[in-house]
Structure 1
Amino acid sequence: MKMKLNFSILIKLAILQYLSVLCIAEDFDFFYFVQQWPGSYCDTKHSCCYPRTGKPDADFGIHGLWPQNEDGSYPQNCNRDNALDEDQISDLTSSLQKDWPSLSCPSSTGFRFWSHEWEKHGTCAESEEIDQHGYFEAALKLKEKANLLQALNNAGIKPDDEFYDLDSIKEAIKDATGFTPGIECNIDASRNSQLYQVFMCVDISGSEFIECPELPKRRCASKVQFPKF
């Protein structure tokens, strides 16, 4: 009788834990999908280290997929016990190394970067549909769907160290994706305002771009440099 009672308690605890995960997953309004230009990252940090796999392609790299609230707040570190398991994303590793590279020093495989993004942001989106594998797979698909570099190239905006109108950059991305992006710039050692990060908003399923309920408040000059990489 005692064994049956204990088993019943365990089942109830498991159900409560499952429901708590669902509540966490719904406790935000949308995602920011953030991509960064590697040339600007290296200028921003004054130095950068290429991954152990070599210099990444001259393309936007994923920074993260971040749960966000319309009031500007955001959840973070929602489940510190759920560390990223490398085996769960082993089939995505080559794509992550290409599309989500780490440029921080010291040089790494990227796993430390991915672990940080999962633990800080991904655990707050965890649900029946979005587990560790689903979180990273969703980000990879969003990058392919946005295709930022192609969108800018089609508008004659290229990473050639030239300066471009900020409004033209936003318009090119909106024309390609259907939605207005948020743009973050950095200042390099020569005091140039550079195209650094692009924020796109995504629904809570992590699959569809939406118009941003709240754009990040980032300052940029009216003309920004698109640096070479």
Structure 2
Amino acid sequence: MKQTMAAKSRSKTISLLALFIGILCLYFPVTTTAVVAESGAAVDLLYLTLVWPGTLCRTGKCCMPTKGKPAIDFLIEDLKTMDQYGQIIQNSKPKCSFSINQMSSLIPDLYSNWCNLSCPCNDGFTNWKKTWCNYGRCSELNQTSYIMTALNLTASANLLEVFQVNGIVPSSSDSYKLGDIYIALMANLGLSTQVECVTITKGASNSTLLSKINFCVSADGQNFINCPFDIKQTCDRELWFYPFTRKQLKKCRKDYVSSGGLIKMATEKHLAM
């Protein structure tokens, strides 16, 4: 009985602590500007950014990828390398070798969870290459491990499930409090997350939409860690989390497809030098 009461007390204390920290994040944000540092600087952490496609399609054009079908979920934007102050560590070397054949087993997951919904329609290859060439080469991981790390972290975060168990589901009729978003994230992922929003204007009214969730990750890509910095607050206290369906994606004609070309396995068409 005493153990049960103690457990309840600890649970209540944790909830109150999460709420208190959430309030601090909302009202007293410590902001940092993402400055690009030279590739020789020390990489202290990785920074995973997941985007909500429902907001992307609501605020602009979104197109069906030329390969695969996007997951009805948060999608990977990139995985950056950073120092402890929030400065981006970026590789400045002009040449970069990126071989798709090295990670052929990851292609189905990449098409589903790391697709690029921007227009014109594309196969997502440019995003994977950019992430590796700009950031991955600064890390301690090889190409396949770096790309796999982004996929594994996304699956581990399981954002839609985290929100659903806390009563937060995509909706066109109900908005949510930013504080509740943070509490749901902190209860499951600690202080590793940072939220970004976009604002759209209709007539005289503004609406804030949930756009991205960022995660601070250990430099080896194994664990979510507490973010040692904060970002500029872009969310109001009330925000929208609109639904996403594949019907929102525009299908492109062949002459509207990105010139990057399609990935053809068993070749090195996409070996970039």
TM-superposed CA distance for 1:173, in Å, is 1.3
What is the aligned partner in structure 1 of residue 209 from structure 2? 194
Equivalent of 1:226 in 201, 221, 241: 241
TM-score (norm 2): 0.70
Q: Which has the higher contact order (CA 8 A, sep 6+)?
A: 2
Percent identical across equivalent pairs? 33
Structure 2 CA distance for partners of 1:189 and 1:119, relative to 1, 3 Å: farther
Cα pair distance change 1:92/1:55, threshold 3 Å: closer
Is the contact made by 2:197 and 2:208 (CA closer than 8 Å) also made in structure 1?
yes
- Cα separation, partners in 2 of 1:39 and 1:189, compared to 1, 3 Å: farther
Post-superposition CA distance 1:170-197 (Å, at most 9, x none):
1111112233411000123533110000
Per the normalisation by structure 1, the TM-score is 0.82
Which residue of 1 is the match for residue 168 of structure 2?
157
Q: Any gaps of 5 or more consecutive residues in structure 2?
A: 1-38, 245-273
Distance 1:108 1:221 in 2: 33
- The match for 2:79 is 65
Higher normalized helix content (fraction of residues): 1
Taking only aligned residues, the RMSD between alpha carbons, in angstroms, comes to 1.9
TM-superposed CA distance for 1:132, in Å, is 0.7
1:51·1:102 contact (CA, 8 Å) conserved in 2? yes
* CA deviation profile, 1:144-186 (whole Å, cap 9, x unmatched): 1110110001101011122101111111111122334110001
Question: Does the CA-based 8 Å contact 1:43-1:189 persist in structure 2?
Answer: no
Whether 1:111 and 2:122 are equivalent positions in the alignment is no
Q: 1:123 aligns with which of 137, 149, 156?
A: 137
Match of 2:185 in 1: 173
Is 1:40–1:195's contact at 8 Å kept on the other side of the alignment? yes
TM-superposed CA distance for 1:72, in Å, is: 2.9
Question: Among 19, 29, 32, which residue is 2:47 paired with?
Answer: 32
Give the 3 Å change call, closer, same or farther, for CA 79–89 of structure 1 in structure 2: farther
What is the Cα deviation at residue 112 of structure 1? 1.4
2: CA distance between counterparts of 1:155 and 1:182? Answer: 18
TM-fit CA distance, 1:137: 0.6
Q: CA deviation at 1:55?
A: 4.8
Do the aligned partners of residues 180 and 210 (structure 1) sit closer, same or farther apart at CA in structure 2, a change above 3 Å counting? closer
Q: CA deviation at 1:63?
A: 1.0
